Amino acid sequence: MSTRSALALAIAFAGAATLAAQSPRFGVGRPPTPDEVRGLGAAIAPDGGGLPEGSGTVAEGRTLYAARCASCHGPNGEGGGVGAALVGGKGTLATARPLKTVGSFWPHATTVWDYVNRAMPFNQPGLLKPEEVYAVVAYILNLNGIIAEDVVMNASTLPTVKMPNRDGFVADPRPDVGLTNPRKPKP
Amino acid sequence: MLGGGFLAQRQKLLAWDTPGKLGAPLGPYGERSPFEKAVRWHRDSKTPETGSCFTPLQASVGTITPSSLHYERHHSGIPTIDPSQHRLVIHGMVDRPISLTMAEIQRLPSITRTLVLECGGNSAGEWAARTGPDVQRSYGLVSCSEWTGVPLATLLAEVGVQRTASWVIAEGADACRMERSVPLSKALENSLLAYGQNGEMIRPSQGYPLRLINPGWEGNTNVKWLHSLKLTNQPYMARDETSKYSDLMPDGKARIFTYQMEAKSVITFPSGGQTLPGIGLYELSGLAWSGKGKIERVEITIDGGRSWVAAQLQEPRLPIALTRFRMPWRFDGREAVIASRAIDETGYVQPSREDLVAARGGNSIYHFNGTKFWRVQADGTVTNVDA
């Protein structure tokens, strides 16, 4: 081995040693601020994880609903030209005309809280205070006969609400069609 | 006598040609010819910030969808985001939660993939045979782009995912902060944090400046305007994975987390609303795709499904991407009922509408991937076969 190639090899090894000593991480970013974690990704888990303090009653929700929700979802949650029906549909899921509402279809009350909080009212999403969200969710659950008039919704009570269609969901079994020798498609 | 010289030699051959007149000057950002009119279609809505618009597949050539014609589905409008102010926060069950700028994300090693994107609700009308009159309105919630970005696995390694984590909750910065739960296994397998589309930054309507791309999975999981990824030990049962984007079966139970898009194809020429100008030889053409890999074969019928023959496939066939198929076809002036069916590399055969309805009923809404028949009438007009 010539001196020159030995030197090249030594340099190559030195380079490899330097690379190996480097962290495998890129070191990008900084720790998020508490505001960033609160403001971005404030999702609510089915077990209630992420629910804020505060509480709301059915009566408070009734007033709020009339002011902020009824114009789209109808005076009694029956749905309107813009907003979906929030009540009704019980017993329709296995019929030719299923009506999928909070009462007939939604499996978790926490989802109602999470969705109202992030997306409602449609034209001003994200402006309701936690107490207002608890109240309007309480009212919608009460409209569906799921909770009584005097039940208060908060971070402890909401996750314990048993939704009527809690067990109405199944895992994806596909491929269920199209695996072998399909029937000849007919127009 | 200038007019009697050079210009006299330039004969005006075509209507648009004006001898002696220069063309338009160069511009900073290109536009298509004013003679090209294909646009997306969307229904009138009382809330125009929500809804969907459909790609004009009948006018498409090749396999890439122009960014400006990519289908859209929005839930609360398109936000205007200054990328210098945008951040992605990765938090939850991780050792080192981080907040990243776009510049930091774009500094990381990137990859580029051509991928089809299809709305889970594409062709929803076909379940009931109430269909749009053309390929755009019935199959147009599908598009194909070249996406560039950072594998999500790179950043998950960066933050150190804790052993207890099994899901990633992805949230967008649109007004309704749309969110979806994505299994960690998918995130580690091939999810992409995309900032590029078709050679430039993603369009605002497609998620500018950052979009989660989940190859082969329904469009809704490809969260636009991505600003948060939260590692958790459970799915969050978001509205858009329970109330919506779940598939209701005849027994009243709904299939949940139906992420995978299966093989599908449709003939784009001739298709509903088009007219063949006369008897003669044509090239029948269409698009096939599968969320599970490459298209292996496309078969075409011109006799209403009695016989099927293999079409030519445009190479290269990329996995989870639109594949163009073609077949020479002589229209002899007699009615023909035509359709295509795709077979992907897993051996899955695109089913008929009848087989889908037999297995899943008519209330599913999502994941319709049945064969699509067009009727070429004796006079050359093409209609939906159910019209």
Is A114 close to B347, i.e. CB distance below 8 A? no
Query: What local confidence, expressed as pLDDT, does residue A187 receive?
Result: 46
Nearest residue, CB atoms, B348 vs list A30, A110, A175? A175
Evaluate whether residue B314 is within a structural domain. Answer: yes
Percent of chain B at pLDDT > 90 equals 90
Answer with the one of B205, B231, B255 that is the final residue of a domain: B255
Same domain as B169, residue B305: no
Same domain as B278, residue B191: no
* Mean pLDDT of the A116-134 span: 96
Nearest residue, CB atoms, A182 vs list B228, B251, B355? B355
Same domain as B294, residue B219: no
Query: What local confidence, expressed as pLDDT, does residue B21 receive?
Result: 86
Q: How far is A91 from chain B (nearest CA, A)?
A: 9
CA dihedral B324, B330, B332, B333 (to 10 degrees): 30
Residue B87, beta-bridge partner list? B101
Residue to substitute from A23, A37, A40, A123, interface B, most B β-carbons within 10 A: A40
* Mean pLDDT of the B228-246 span: 98
Lowest mean pLDDT among A18-27, B4-13, B206-215, B280-289: B4-13
User: Closest residue of A to B260, CA-based?
Assistant: A174
Same domain as B236, residue B120: yes
Residues of chain A neighbouring B375 (CB-CB closer than 8 A) = 187
How far apart are the C-alpha atoms of B350 and B355, rounded to whole Å?
10
Q: How confident is the model at residue B6 (pLDDT cuts 50, 70, 90)?
A: low
Q: How far is A122 from chain B (nearest CA, A)?
A: 8
The number of domains in chain B is 2
Is A185 close to B373, i.e. CB distance below 8 A? yes
Nearest residue, CB atoms, A111 vs list B178, B239, B254? B239
Three-state SS at A72: helix
Answer with the one of B236, B255, B274 that is the final residue of a domain: B255
Q: How confident is the model at residue B386 (pLDDT cuts 50, 70, 90)?
A: confident
Is B232 close to A45, i.e. CB distance below 8 A? yes
* Mean pLDDT of the B171-176 span: 97
Is B229 close to A118, i.e. CB distance below 8 A? no
* Mean pLDDT of the B208-226 span: 98
Same domain as B314, residue B229: no
Nearest residue, CB atoms, B305 vs list A24, A33, A186? A186
Entry pTM: 0.92
Q: How far is B315 from chain A (nearest CA, A)?
A: 25
Same domain as B196, residue B82: yes
Residue to substitute from A33, A169, A181, interface B, most B β-carbons within 10 A: A169
Same domain as B247, residue B226: yes
Is B348 close to A183, i.e. CB distance below 8 A? no
Answer with the one of B255, B277, B299 that is the final residue of a domain: B255
Residues of chain B neighbouring A119 (CB-CB closer than 8 A) = 75-76, 175-178, 239
pLDDT at B1 over 50: no
Same domain as B271, residue B228: no
- Domain residues for the domain of B275 are 264-384
Q: How confident is the model at residue B46 (pLDDT cuts 50, 70, 90)?
A: confident
How far apart are the C-alpha atoms of A35 and B8, rounded to whole Å?
74
Which residue ranges form the domains of chain A, and what is each CATH number? 52-160 (1.10.760.10)
Percent of chain B at pLDDT > 70 equals 97
Evaluate whether residue B2 is within a structural domain. Answer: no
Nearest residue, CB atoms, B169 vs list A41, A171, A174? A41
CATH number at residue B345: 2.60.40.650
pLDDT at A1 over 90: no
Does B362 contact A at CB distance below 8 Å? yes
**Digit-coded pLDDT (tens) for A67-84:** 999 999 999 999 988 999
Same domain as B223, residue B106: yes
Q: How confident is the model at residue A42 (pLDDT cuts 50, 70, 90)?
A: confident
Does B365 contact A at CB distance below 8 Å? no
In sequence order, which residues have a C-beta less than 8 Å from that of residue B152 and are 6 or more positions away? B168, B187, B188, B191, B192, B193, B212, B229
Is B263 close to A185, i.e. CB distance below 8 A? no
Nearest residue, CB atoms, A94 vs list B99, B251, B354? B251
How far apart are the C-alpha atoms of A144 and A165, rounded to whole Å?
12
Residue to substitute from B90, B98, B168, B177, interface A, most A β-carbons within 10 A: B177
CATH number at residue B154: 3.90.420.10
In sequence order, which residues have a C-beta less than 8 Å from that of residue A38 and are 6 or more positions away? none
Is B263 close to A178, i.e. CB distance below 8 A? yes
Same domain as B93, residue B151: yes
Mean pLDDT of chain B: 95
Identify the CA nearest to A103 among candidates A90, A116, A93, A115: A90
Cβ-based burial of B126 (10 A; exposed 0-12, middle 13-18, buried ≥19): buried
Residues of chain B numbered 220-239 and touching chain A (CB < 8 Å): 227-230, 232, 234, 236-239
Q: For residue B108, give both structure tokens.
A: 């990381």
Q: How far is B37 from chain A (nearest CA, A)?
A: 31
pLDDT at B5 over 90: no
Residues of chain A neighbouring B257 (CB-CB closer than 8 A) = 171-172
Each as own residue / partner, the long-range contacts of residues A81-90 (CB below 8 Å, 24 or more positions apart, any chain) are A81/B46, A82/A122, A82/B46, A82/B47, A83/A122, A86/A140, A86/A143, A86/A144, A87/A140, A87/A143, A87/A144, A90/A164
Residues of chain B neighbouring A180 (CB-CB closer than 8 A) = 349
Q: How confident is the model at residue A185 (pLDDT cuts 50, 70, 90)?
A: very low
